[in-house]
Structure formats: structure tokens, C-alpha cells
Amino acid sequence: MNETAAVAERRPTRALLLNHRSHPVTVGGGAPVSVQSMTTTKTADVEGTLQQIYALYGAGADIVRCTCNDADAAAGLAHIVPRAPVPIVADVHNSHRMALAALEAGVHCLRLNPGNIRRPEHIKLIASEARDRGVPIRIGVNGGSLDESLYRKYGGRVTPEAMVESAQMELAYFAEVGFDQVKISVKASSVPLMIEAYRQLSEVTDHPLHLGVTEAGPPPAGLIKATAGIAALLAEGIGDTIRYSLTADPVEEAKAGRQLLEAMGLRERKGLDLIACPSCGRAEVDVIQVANDAQVALEELKIPIQVAVMGCVVNGPGEARDADLGIAAGRQKGHLFVKGQVVKVVPEGAMVEALVEWANRINDEGIEGALTHADAKAQAEADADRAALLDDKGADANHSEQTVELIRRHLAEN
């Protein structure tokens, strides 16, 4: 099945270029959906901020945002931008001077909050300067800091219509100075509100959209909220770049963003995709422990591979047939399989080690090459173990045949 078939065709948007010297990123215009995150360091701390930017890049971020909240931060950006591995966006809130200073520092994009920079002449001044330098701007409308007049106009409530109007007002100022290199976000901490705001916005503009649920909070609830909002929109073909706003190490945001796009078939898999059964009464091993150990060991390899960890040999191999590599537990052993074919049987304690060995082999030699190393006796041994387990425990994990027998007996007795 084509993985993207379940995702609607992407809404056409204009393309913007974040013109980094060695890692330019296009947003919109059919470019791959990009992942963003934001540093939590003081931007004035150049080395600390660069360290975090590199960590975010390693975790899957395509674009990184840093705050530009004072003169020291702007000076920090001047040192950070030339050394950063990805485009840098300066986050500017209250001061148009900070926006101009960030442009001077060479940032690849600005983020402005229309609720905070209010004077039209300041907005137009920033837009003119960005236009002359070829630097795009994100209009970052935020449900929590909507312009007071719009708040009143919409009955003292933040509505999707109010958020869309706020973005359009800002766009109009930009249009006055002939600037259209703009992407827009209409984030809210309420998932239904942000979904509706982005839907309405996508109907009235072809500017690329930056998706996010703002202030989603700490994981796991924050991850769930952000995923619910972002994934719903992506599935409708809406969205060109995404950010998870988590109360956590920003590396978690970058990882989550990348993983979501890979899971939806919107980006190529760069690393591990571990699938594991949820375990049940039939499990022959502590599936949670083995899956966690496998995750840690395999993630380090940085190999684009799908690996299955299954708790029993009765259902496991069948359910994980399509995985590149998998292991299923049974009778104190691990049955290792490559694309559904058993290639080796290892002791239970060596399951994770065997997965690492074969993941490397697949990476070096491909699936076909790895299969040439299959142990000729492994399939027969696995079949015998499976048959013995079926004999021992029955074909039904829930023992329903025995239950039915018991019910019959009780009915007969009464």
C-alpha cells in the first residue's frame, strides 16, 4: 500500500526559501514538510545555543528558532548564524528594533507575533527590510495573545475567525510594501480551535502554513495533544512545516516531529522504526523490557530499518511479516526473522544482541545479502518450537475453547 494514500493531496502553497549557505530549506511549494524546534538556551550564550542547535539537527530538526529578545541575544545571533547547520529563525515579540537587529545578524527567517508588534509603520519597516534581504517572515498568530480589538470584535472570545483575521491584517501591511514571502501559523492550546483556524486559513490563502498546538505541555499528554492537532491537519493535506511545543528538552520536540512525518509517510525514514506487540497472556518473555533494550541499542546505529519485537512465536512472526527484521520469543529462545523468514534461533538472553548484529548485516548487505547468511536449520527448529507451544497452550491465547467447555459443563450440571 502507498503509505501516503491515506493522506489527502497536499494543498498547493507558494514556496519560500530559508537560504542557509549549505542547508537551504524550502517551505511550501510541494517541498517535504519540514520539522522545526526552538532553543531553550539564552541566545547570548553562543556556545550553549550552538550545542543545542546541533543536538536538534541530529534529532531531525530542519529549521531552528532562537529568541531575539534583547541586544545581547541579537549579538549572539550574529555569531550563531554562520556556524549553525540549519536555517535560523529569530523569534521577535515586542520590539521592532529586535527584528531589525536580527536581520542585521543574518538570520534566515523572522517570526513576528502580530498581537505584540502593533504599530503599522513598524511592521512595514520590518517587512521592507526583510524584502530587500530576501528573508521570509512567519506571522505567528497565537490564540493567547490576540490583538485586543479583535478579541472584542469576536465577543471577548478567541475564535478561529478572529485568528484568521489577525493574520490577514498583518498580511495586508506586508502587501503594502510589496512583501509576500510569508508563512503563517494560527496556534492555540485548544486542539479543536487550532484545527478549525488552520482549516479556515487554508481556504483563504496560499501562503505556507506552520502547524502547531501551542503550550501543549509536558509529555505524554503534550505529545498526544500536539499529534492530534498536527496529524489531523496533515491528513487533510494542510501544513508545510511543523513544530511540537512541548514542556521538555527540545530534542524531544524535534524527534517527535520527525517521527510523526515518517509515520505518516510524509518523510523518508531516517532511523529506526520499532514495532512491538503490546504483550498479552501468551507472551514468553518480558516484551516491554526487550523492546526498550532493543530501542536503545538499535537507535544508536542510526540505520533506517523497521524492526519487530514480538512476545511469542505463535502470532508474532505472522503479525510482523513485513518488518525488515524481527524477533519472536518462545521456549526460552528468540526466533530471528528477516522479511518473515526465520534466519536464526538464539538463546532468550541474546535476543537484543542478535537484532543489532542482523540490523548491521542488513545495512551492509541489504535484505537479499543478509538472507544468504540464514541458518539452514533455523526454520525447522522454529516450526518445532511453535508446534510444541501450540500443543502446550492451545491455538487460542484466550483459552476460549476451554471456557466454552466449562460453560457447557456448568449448564449440564444445572
> From the centroid of its chain, how far is CA 28?
17
Residues in 194-253 that interact with ligand SF4 by CB under 6 A? none
Least separation in angstroms between residue 220's CB and ligand SF4 is 21
Contacting ligand SF4 (CB under 6 A), which of 279, 306, 363, 379? 279
> From the centroid of its chain, how far is CA 292?
20
Phi-psi region of 237 (alpha: psi -120 to 50; beta: other; left: phi over 0): left
Which C-beta is closer to ligand SF4: that of 75 or that of 288? 288
Position 87 contacts ligand SF4 (CB under 6 A): no
* Backbone dihedral angles phi then psi of residue 298, each to the nearest 5 degrees: -80, -30
Which C-beta is closer to ligand SF4: that of 76 or that of 334? 334
Cell numbers at 318, concatenated: 505472522
Which C-beta is closer to ligand SF4: that of 117 or that of 308? 308
First to last CA, the chain: 53
Contact 38, 91 (CB under 8 A): yes
Q: Is 257 helix (H, G, I), strand (E, B) or coil?
A: helix
Position 278 contacts ligand SF4 (CB under 6 A): yes
User: What does the alpha-carbon distance between residue 356 and residue 191 come to, in Å, rounded to a whole number?
Assistant: 39
Q: Residue number with the shortest CB distance to ligand SF4?
A: 311
Contacting ligand SF4 (CB under 6 A), which of 171, 310, 325, 389? 310
Number of residues assigned to the chain: 414
User: What does the alpha-carbon distance between residue 343 and residue 354 come to, in Å, rounded to a whole number?
Assistant: 11
Q: What is the DSSP letter of 20?
A: -
182 DSSP β-pair partners: 137
User: What does the alpha-carbon distance between residue 195 and residue 337 come to, in Å, rounded to a whole number?
Assistant: 42
Contacting ligand SF4 (CB under 6 A), which of 116, 128, 200, 315? 315
Position 390 contacts ligand SF4 (CB under 6 A): no
Which C-beta is closer to ligand SF4: that of 60 or that of 311? 311
Q: What is the DSSP letter of 294?
A: H
Contacting ligand SF4 (CB under 6 A), which of 10, 243, 282, 386? 282
Contacting ligand SF4 (CB under 6 A), which of 38, 139, 171, 283? 283
Stretch that binds ligand SF4, among 123-131, 274-282, 357-365, 367-375 (CB under 6 A): 274-282
Contacting ligand SF4 (CB under 6 A), which of 116, 348, 397, 399? 397
Number of residues that bind ligand SF4 (CB under 6 A): 14
Contacting ligand SF4 (CB under 6 A), which of 114, 311, 326, 334? 311
Contact 129, 104 (CB under 8 A): no
Stretch that binds ligand SF4, among 84-92, 175-183, 229-237, 312-320 (CB under 6 A): 312-320
Selection from 77, 94, 75, 78 nearest residue 39 by Cα = 77
Position 316 contacts ligand SF4 (CB under 6 A): yes
Which C-beta is closer to ligand SF4: that of 100 or that of 338? 338
What residues make contact with ligand SF4 under the rule CB under 6 A?
277-280, 282-283, 310-312, 314-316, 319, 397
